[in-house]
Chain A
Amino acid sequence: MNNNINFDRNQAKRLLLLAILAGRIMLKNGAETYRVEDTIERMIKSRKGIKFAHAFVTPTGIFASLEYEDEVFTYLVRIKSRRIDLNKINLVNEFSREFVSTNMSIDEGFDKLKSIYSAETYSLMLNSISGGLSCGFLSFMFGGSTMDFLASLIIGFIVVLSVNKIARYKLAFFINNFLGAAIATLLSIVSYTVGIADNMNTVIIASIMPLVPGVAITNAMRDTISGDFVSGLSRGMEAIFSALSIAFGVGFILNIYLWRIR
């Protein structure tokens, strides 16, 4: 397809590194594993002289190897922290399409990927405000009153803000969700007791919604369908444990509350 003149051993090695960097950005930001595998293989195979290229991706690591002139290069990358940034997945997706269809040099590819890696996200304030808005309108959807809307709006804002702040300490995701759900429940109970909210249950349900594992459920299903059972299972476990941690967080505070009023 392409006829790079100076495509030598070193270039082949760098091509593999480039493809893995692309895959790493996608996986770190919550892409499905089959999409990551596909991207890595496509990017490697688009250059001339590559006999064989394969990638094996799980949610916690990437293995990829290519064969160039009777020599096999293999790299292994471990992914430790993951978060959700669908914009970066989209950008890498566009980048890989461009890389495959044009004659982009590998150095140029590295530059582009580095700028994607540090691409801007929405600010924490905007994130928290939109979290508050979604919680507020969710409480309407679940049958809440105007006062419930106001309470969920404020609580959703605080929950998203504090979960983002807590995430900076890089605790286990279980503790993160647990604390988020506990904060949501505590504030809902307080607002109900003070008299802001009319219906405590609706406010609690609406304000734990930013924590529910929607991404894990979606990706678990999409991975399983494309035949990646290892990834599907591990994402499914992530979904189950996120749900459990939310339930524990709610239960912990609620138990104290119920014991107090008994």
Chain B
Amino acid sequence: MFETIKQFVFSFISTIGFSIIFNIPKGLIVKSGIVGGIGWLVFYISSQFFSSSIISTFFASLTVGILGELCARYFKKPATVFIIPGIIPLVPGAGLYYTMLALLEEDFYAAATKGTETIFIAAAISAGLIISTTLSKSIRRANTK
């Protein structure tokens, strides 16, 4: 439990850092930090249930997407303001690095494994975003009709 809270705090602060790099308006920094923190929490908890990090990344990016769309609706701001910083901790920087490392060590089997995993993590992020955005758009369309 303590570890979970620690993970939330870490991801909260690092998301806030990224939101300053991306010049998010002052009033929204903490909100986007919370979105990113919850997204990482979903990743952290679900990675204890599933052996592959691909499915956990999918759930996390779905969470970030849905929360971002909800915040966008509620605060009347573009959804990307919340989604972009929240997505960053999920982007497979580690996979990218280990693929390169394996390539340099001429361990092509590991490179293929890691490279495929990296591509699939990126695809999982995209799939999570696709589903949340599509849901939000279809709900909006149904409401305006």
Contacts and interface: CB of A to CB of B under 8 A. Distances in A.
Closest 7 CB pairs of A and B: A134-B17, A130-B20, A134-B14, A130-B17, A137-B14, A85-B23, A137-B10
Nearest to B28: A90
Interface residues of A, number: 58
Interface of A: 30-32, 35, 84-91, 93, 121-122, 126-127, 130-138, 140-142, 160, 201, 204-205, 208-210, 212-215, 217-222, 224-226, 239, 243, 246-247, 250-251, 254-255, 258
Contacts of B88: 134, 209, 212, 214
User: For chain B, what secondary structure do more than half of its interface residues adopt (helix, strand, loop), or is it mixed?
Assistant: helix
A160 B133 CA distance: 30
Contacts of B93: 205, 208-209, 212, 246
Contact of B91 (A84, A89, A141, A217): A217
18 contacts: A32-B80, A86-B81, A90-B81, A93-B78, A130-B21, A133-B16, A134-B15, A136-B14, A137-B11, A141-B89, A142-B94, A201-B97, A209-B89, A209-B91, A210-B21, A214-B91, A219-B80, A254-B100
A137 B80 contact: no
Contacts of B100: 247, 250-251, 254
Given A137-B17, A221-B129, A255-B104, A215 B99 contact: no
Contacts of A142: 94
Contacts of A137: 10-11, 13-14, 17
B119 to A, nearest CB: 10
B83 interface: yes
User: For chain A, what secondary structure do more than half of its interface residues adopt (helix, strand, loop), or is it mixed?
Assistant: helix
B108 interface: no
Nearest to B36: A134
Given A221-B126, A254-B100, A93 B10 contact: no
B78 A89 contact: yes
B14 A251 contact: no
Nearest to A239: B122
Given A137-B10, A209-B88, A85 B22 contact: yes
